[in-house]
Chain A
Amino acid sequence: MTVILKAKDIIARLSEKFPGCLAEAGTDSVLVEAAAIPAVVQYLREGEGLEFDYLNFITAVDYYQYFEVVYHLTSLKHNHAIFLKTRCYDRENPSVPSVVGIFQGADFQEREIYDLFGIKFEGHPDLRRIFLWEGFPGHPLRKDFNQ
């Protein structure tokens, strides 16, 4: 019988496994240091009893002071889900490690975020613009974008 884990329990397991990597935890989300994202996603995908096998989406938010990249993971096997968040404060050259190696479906979504926010995904095999054309000035989903 599958056991539905609550986000609280998942976060407790993560903080045990990755001490010092979790910045803060909400009711159903957890804020992770950017450098730890691939390891955390890998663990969530393969950890015993976690088995998050489905990446719902990756998106990003511009809060002016920082960019927040949001990952939504679901386990179809155990029917539990969690939001991972990470922040990058460098507005000029924001960068987050890529998770394409773990979830293939992250490919286009990371390209979309790169296109519209200008966040670079380190280790992405083919990081090009996807909606806009090469040479488009700026990143239109940034709050300070003016055409």
Chain B
Amino acid sequence: MEMNLKPRIYEPDELDRHEAESIAALKAKSQLPIPDPDDWLDEEIKRNVLLTTADAVLNWARRSSLWPVICFPACCAFEFIAAEGPRFDISRFGMEILRASPRQADLMITAGTLTWKMAPVVRRVYEQMPEPKWVIAMGACAISGGIFRSSYAVVPGYNRIVPVDVYVPGCPPRPEALIHGIRLLQKKIARQKNRIQLPEIRLPKPGGKSR
């Protein structure tokens, strides 16, 4: 097939005529002012429709209800208990509901020293948590083993056992530090990209019966 690569060159009077036609058409359509969309939209729709992205909605829902699993092997748990209590009150950030079952939780706050004897249990708790799930390493022992790092029986950091998202230093960290760590995790979740799997739509075959 022969390709016609030569551009079409309009005659000047042809261009002018073309412009005049388009202006006339626009002018004919634009005799009345376009109404303000707020006036045009129904009052009910205006109050009930919110345009956003799926990422924003999913991340908002996930980060606003972080439910920690009860998995506190050592003394940092007391700082967590203080953070749970009315003085520091992490329920302000929607994360106060502790779950006794890892199957209902999506956050693991690893508060305390972990021994190798306990490590398989923590790993199992983590594996039982449904996706998406996050881990906060709370305190020096959880980050690196802390003062027990050189012991023969202590895991030097939870990141040997489970992937850690946020590290909260301190021995133990103050409840404010823990809350700051959870807020950091929330910011991290807000940046996440989600892949949504939509249900497959079965279209009827053209000319055939639909299932």
Is the beta-carbon distance between A133 and B152 smaller than 8 angstroms? Answer: no
Question: Restricting to B63-117, which residues have a CB under 8 Å from any CB of A?
Answer: 116-117
Cβ of B121 < 8 Å from any Cβ of A? no
Is the beta-carbon distance between B117 and A140 smaller than 8 angstroms? Answer: no
10 CB-based A-B contacts, threshold 8 Å: A131-B117, A131-B153, A132-B117, A132-B153, A133-B116, A133-B117, A136-B152, A140-B152, A140-B153, A147-B152
Question: Which secondary structure characterizes the binding site on chain A?
Answer: loop
Residues of B within 8 A of A131 (CB): 117, 153
Min CB–CB distance A102 → chain B (angstroms): 29
Question: How many angstroms between the C-alpha atoms of A56 and B153 in the bound complex?
Answer: 27
Question: How many angstroms between the C-alpha atoms of A133 and B117 in the bound complex?
Answer: 6
Residues of A within 8 A of B117 (CB): 131-133
Question: How many residue pairs at the A-B interface have CB separations less than 8 Å?
Answer: 10
Of chain A, the residue at the smallest CB distance from B120 is A133
Min CB–CB distance A57 → chain B (angstroms): 21
Residues of B within 8 A of A133 (CB): 116-117
Of chain A, the residue at the smallest CB distance from B115 is A131
Question: How many angstroms between the C-alpha atoms of A140 and B151 in the bound complex?
Answer: 10
Min CB–CB distance B84 → chain A (angstroms): 30
0/1 interface trace, chain A 118-147, chain B, CB 8 Å (1 if under): 000000000000011100100010000001
Given A132-B153, A136-B152, 8 more contacts at CB 8 Å?
A131-B117, A131-B153, A132-B117, A133-B116, A133-B117, A140-B152, A140-B153, A147-B152
Min CB–CB distance B63 → chain A (angstroms): 38
Min CB–CB distance B155 → chain A (angstroms): 13
Residues of A within 8 A of B116 (CB): 133
Of chain B, the residue at the smallest CB distance from A145 is B152
Question: How many angstroms between the C-alpha atoms of A131 and B117 in the bound complex?
Answer: 7
Question: Restricting to B113-130, which residues have a CB under 8 Å from any CB of A?
Answer: 116-117
Question: How many angstroms between the C-alpha atoms of A136 and B152 in the bound complex?
Answer: 9
Question: How many angstroms between the C-alpha atoms of A133 and B116 in the bound complex?
Answer: 8
0/1 interface trace, chain B 166-187, chain A, CB 8 Å (1 if under): 0000000000000000000000
Min CB–CB distance A118 → chain B (angstroms): 14
Question: How many angstroms between the C-alpha atoms of A140 and B152 in the bound complex?
Answer: 8
Min CB–CB distance A121 → chain B (angstroms): 21
Of chain A, the residue at the smallest CB distance from B150 is A147
Residues of A within 8 A of B153 (CB): 131-132, 140
Of chain B, the residue at the smallest CB distance from A130 is B117
Q: Which 9 A-B pairs have the closest CB atoms?
A: A147-B152, A140-B152, A133-B117, A132-B153, A133-B116, A131-B117, A132-B117, A131-B153, A140-B153
Question: How many angstroms between the C-alpha atoms of A132 and B152 in the bound complex?
Answer: 10
Question: How many angstroms between the C-alpha atoms of A133 and B153 in the bound complex?
Answer: 9
Question: How many angstroms between the C-alpha atoms of A131 and B152 in the bound complex?
Answer: 12
Question: How many angstroms between the C-alpha atoms of A101 and B153 in the bound complex?
Answer: 31
Of chain A, the residue at the smallest CB distance from B116 is A133
Residues of A within 8 A of B152 (CB): 136, 140, 147
Residues of B within 8 A of A140 (CB): 152-153
Question: Restricting to A85-111, which residues have a CB under 8 Å from any CB of B?
Answer: none
Of chain B, the residue at the smallest CB distance from A146 is B152
0/1 interface trace, chain B 131-160, chain A, CB 8 Å (1 if under): 000000000000000000000110000000
Question: How many angstroms between the C-alpha atoms of A131 and B118 in the bound complex?
Answer: 10
Residues of B within 8 A of A147 (CB): 152
